[in-house]
Structure 1
């Protein structure tokens, strides 16, 4: 087998840019154009605004109540320049959350634009479709789903604290890669409050059709929430051992079956 054939076979197994070939001292034109397209898609994902109205409609169409809030970042430019502003709620949003808060709940879910509105548009509702029956089966009480604009992960700490949630799960658009402008991440924090660190969270990443499926991500998130509520912790002291539960035939069938 020639080197060219070997690289061609390997390139079918990964979206990574390998075996690109060359034209003289440079890359072939098709690869230069492909890289330019991927870079443009990543930039678009970062700068494109979230269609909050469409996201709210999709989430409420699943039977969830919702509430929309915003961070202290006034616009996208401020959000990208000042990450700290994206971690704090605006005064108006704080007031809205205080008014919406009722009795303590087990779980608050935040859907945040993050660094890829596209990931939220394409994946947030799909993940909630897979997660909803698992939450209902466990009997957990839920706060209204919060749609957060110009938001960083840590914004969920304040949301969860205001809504008196035992745990908060932040569904957020991840920083786009050159092959993954549609990647959704989930960050789970037990006992959310202002000042929590990233070491106190669990993360599930690369949730998208070409990565971790919505069904498997929902299964992992449900397992982590269950463990967090039982053991009273998240973060470095809570390891994702959900794969062991997947060995049960009935669980594997549930993950594989279309919803």
Structure 2
């Protein structure tokens, strides 16, 4: 089952409760009351309430804290969360430079969803960290719209082609804030991060980010050296991109399919976040 923007809240809630019977109306109403009492928050849609409650494993207080953090980060990181148009020149350039993809799997129910990243163009001169991150979170929004809640996102990042000049283009203050957003404010459960073909530069980047990782987040991140295929214990080899040793489509095809899907939501992007 997949959703569309037009899917009503009533239908959405019914299907979400079929996936997760622990999603109950009392908790939804309790979270709504907390949100309504906070005059610093903009209007929050009912579907978002469900997403944040699920991301917090149905803990109302934690869901509220996550939701408040989400809106706070989004208001502060305007370079990431405003002017979101997948057909803008900046996003087209990211599409040409980076493969940021939702892997096509015959998803059923609440099982994990898989996301994959890889360079298309390894030239650091064309790499734009800010726009690439913006594109990534726009992609994640499409994933949420289409699938609603699910057990977690599993992200695979291919470090092939990463060099020290890419690192010099990462503004560390922004990277620190984004790590905070990922750990405090996501409306989905980020379950695992697998970095494959992780050479010395990937390890260096990981060590730079390590001070910004809290609690058990470090346990979710695993680096694999070039030639290792141990990550296939965590991701489905039959669907993952052929460039990482999988039997699925090329990452170029997954990237194109994902970008075209994002473009089909252009009207939603330009009215929601601008």
TM-score by length of 1: 0.25
Q: Flag the structure with higher helix content.
A: 2
Higher relative contact order (CA 8 A, sep 6+): 2
